[in-house]
Structure 1
């Protein structure tokens, strides 16, 4: 991981937020949507709904108009309003700092909970999205198709203080270098990468 961290020294979440509430909302919106598009939607959204109590009073119909460009807006609006209402009713409007409590909120799965824990609450978390899944398996630091198993494998070999940064680094590497069609010539760890070795020409020209 050290070589990848040197290649991506400023790796961090690309979602814009100021509070744990804002990051939770933004992460829910980011499902099947780019961070860039989410960041265009959230300033006006947070101005209108600055906290969980304000969002809990929203109707799904009015929220749909605000978030339509993020895709799957009907499902997301239902999740956001339900999440906010649960926060108010069960946690006094605050974001709970545990995986268990976060996952009980509507629209919040393990990946979203890990994002909020690691980036907004100071609790070690290692979000595994499609980029982490792809890069970790290609490099050979994890071997599984299940995101939760990959999370367990990575957490088992990394100190908790490095979990969130590792996820950020793998995500950025997956977006910029290790794409579905990877740019292996630009990769800092290609010589130790299982995928690269498997694709490299063998002696005599065979593959």
Structure 2
């Protein structure tokens, strides 16, 4: 059973790397099996189609459950809190080509990926809303915190920016060498702008 799990993990690791480097359509299953060093028949045993492989990757590796928010709240400083959350998110993405590249590249043509992105955004917004609310020291309407969290999630998960960066990435030749496209140089200014609406107590 352990060997079975190891083989499956090797296949997923290989698919993650190759999908990030070449794209889903540009990656034959033979290349995945070769990189994983497993027989092609074993790949099809676990994943009957290449789409099943993609589905497994986004289902199992696009998840925010491991995120630790305990050190992200900057009390009295919502803008810093937003930047802290984003920094932690980027650390997780740096460890996962699924989060960094694959879902944003493949979502236009794969409904299951689009659905997972939507769930990811909902999960991320709940996290942002929670830590943002904890950073505010005065009474404030929950709807304002919710709106601010939604705006921030939209900024840091903008598919159009990621798709544009994906083209630049292909030209550069490496997924790991490209800066995150959802982190513009003025990200702190955007955090200040969003936080401005949270600074005064709401009736």
Instruction: Compute the TM-score of the two structures, normalised by the length of structure 1.
Output: 0.27
Between 1 and 2, higher relative CO (CA 8 Å, sep ≥ 6) is seen in 2
More helix by share: 2
